[in-house]
Every structure is written in C-alpha cells, then in structure tokens.
C-alpha cells in the first residue's frame, strides 16, 4: 500500500469493518459445516480476513504478522487439506464429519500429525500461526481497538470449529465397526508430506526470527517511506519505532 497512501488511510475504517464482519460471519458459518474439506476452506476465509486486518494496520507488527500468518496458513491449510482430501477421503470415500469417529484407534500416526495441524489452524502457541495471528491482531488493535477486540473473536471461533472437527473425527467411538476391511495408517509418502509441513510449522513457531528478520527492513521502509503516514497516526508510528528497537538486527536502521 505504499502506492496509494492517502486512499489506504481513508479506506481503512471501511476495510476493517468489512474484515471484522467477515471474520464473525465466516467463523459462524464454519461452525455449522459438517464437511471436513468445507470446514477447512471456510476457516481459510476467516483467517484471510485476519491477515487483511494485519496488512491494513499501518504498523510494523501488523504487516509482518499478516505476511507471517499468510505463510503459516499456507503450510497448515495445505496440510489439513492433505489430511482431509488425501488421506481420510482416500480411505473412506466420505467427507462428512458425522460419518467419522475414533480414527485415533485405527490411524494413530495420522491422528498425531492431524492434531498438530489442527492446533496450528486454531492458532495455538508454538505454531507459526500463533505468531502471525498474534502480531496481526496486535496491529489491528493498535489501529482500531474496538474492531481489534471484535476481530480477536476469531481466536475463540477458530479454536471452536477446529477442535469440534478434530474431536468428531479422531475420538468418540469406534470407526472400524463400519468397515469390512481394515483402514491402513499413513504410508511413507503421506507421512513424509505431512511431517514436512508439521516440522516447518512447529520449527518457525518456536523460532520465527529467521522470517521476521528478513521482513524488518522491507516493512520498515514500507511504512516510513511516506511522510503522510507518520503524520496521520503519530502514535502508531512511534510505538512501531519503539518495538523495532527491541530487535537487535534492526538497530542498523537507527545508526
């Protein structure tokens, strides 16, 4: 948004309102889905609105969080789609949550990786989604506190629908009684695919600095390149400077 600074600032309230309504509406419609794949797709919509909030927050933290959440969501969402479409649908030929139960008993390895990805989707600490979502919502809160608080409902909602899905799929009885033949656990190909995504999610969730360090310089120049932005929201710009100072790698900017 360095191309159109004035219009961006003027339109921010509109964009924020649209995003917050999107978060709540998309989350509520996600809660009432019974199709695994549909649930993951709708949760993507809710998360997309969160990183849109981050990008429009006009703070370093918000923009970096938006980018990071986009990256994290790419990892976790594709992992969950592999779980739902590539593994579960391949085994059972149904995608309805109502038909699943007790997958943990027959596919322990799958359930483990699926669980970590589900935690990632609900933005639990130690996953990169948490870092991204927290920074995005922090930026949004700094820009517009009331809408930021309302947007934070996405944390509760995403936890609700993700845990709902995982609970119904993984626990609650025995699946094997519905099948004449046994369902195999993950094969090597699926395991390698999923564990790669899980490894990156958790690794960058514990230590996101490599990504953030790469972003600091570009995001700082993005924000501080035009004078109009620091004039329009001096408090936001000042606190961004204070935040950036904490990062050793960014000290060079102020020398």
Partner 1 sequence: MWNVLGSLFLLLAILTMSSLMGSTDFDALSKANFNNVTQTFLFAGVFFAFAIKTPTIFLNG
Residue 46 in the binding site for partner 1 (CB under 8 A)? no
Residue 41 in the binding site for partner 1 (CB under 8 A)? no
Residue of 36, 40, 49, 140 that binds partner 1 (CB under 8 A): 49
For residue 208, give Cα distances in angstroms to 144, 211, 223.
Answer: 26, 6, 21
Residue 144 in the binding site for partner 1 (CB under 8 A)? no
φ, ψ of residue 96 in degrees (nearest 5) = -80, 130
Q: Which of 11/171 has CB closer to partner 1?
A: 11
Residues 188-227 that bind partner 1 (CB under 8 A): 225
Identify the residue whose tokens are 């999923």.
194
Q: Which of 28/109 has CB closer to partner 1?
A: 28
> Alpha helices of the chain — where are they, by DSSP H?
5-31, 36-55, 60-81, 89-92, 103-106, 108-121, 128-143, 145-151, 153-170, 188-206, 209-224, 227-232, 234-245
Residue 140 in the binding site for partner 1 (CB under 8 A)? no
Residue 77 in the binding site for partner 1 (CB under 8 A)? no
Residue 8 in the binding site for partner 1 (CB under 8 A)? yes
What tokens appear for 112 in the block? 């483990």
| Contacting residues toward partner 1, per CB under 8 A | 2-8, 10-11, 15, 18-19, 21-22, 25-26, 45, 48-49, 52, 225
């Amino acid at each position: 948004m360095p191309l159109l600074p004035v219009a961006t600032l003027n339109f921010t309230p509109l964009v924020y309102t649209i995003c917050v309504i999107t978060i709540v509406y998309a989350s509520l419609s996600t809660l009432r889905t019974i199709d695994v794949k549909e649930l993951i797709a709708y949760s993507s919509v809710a998360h997309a609105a969160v990183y849109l909030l981050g990008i429009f927050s006009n703070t370093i933290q918000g923009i970096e969080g938006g980018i990071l959440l986009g990256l994290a969501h790419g990892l976790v969402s594709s992992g969950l789609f592999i779980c739902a479409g590539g593994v579960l649908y391949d085994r059972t030929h149904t995608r309805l949550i109502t038909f699943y139960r007790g997958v943990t008993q027959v596919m322990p390895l799958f359930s483990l990786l699926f669980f970590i990805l589900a935690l990632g989707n609900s933005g639990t600490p130690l996953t990169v989604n948490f870092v991204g979502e927290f920074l995005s919502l922090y930026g949004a809160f700094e820009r517009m506190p009331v809408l930021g608080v309302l947007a934070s409902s996405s944390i509760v909602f995403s936890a609700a629908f993700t845990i709902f899905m995982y609970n119904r799929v993984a626990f609650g009885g025995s699946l094997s009684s519905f099948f004449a033949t046994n369902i195999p656990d993950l094969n090597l190909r699926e395991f390698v695919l999923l564990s790669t995504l899980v490894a990156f999610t958790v690794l960058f969730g514990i230590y996101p600095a490599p990504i953030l360090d790469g972003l600091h310089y570009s995001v700082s120049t993005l924000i501080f390149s035009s004078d109009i932005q620091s004039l329009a929201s001096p408090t936001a710009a000042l606190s961004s400077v204070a935040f950036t100072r904490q990062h050793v790698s960014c000290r060079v900017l102020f020398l």
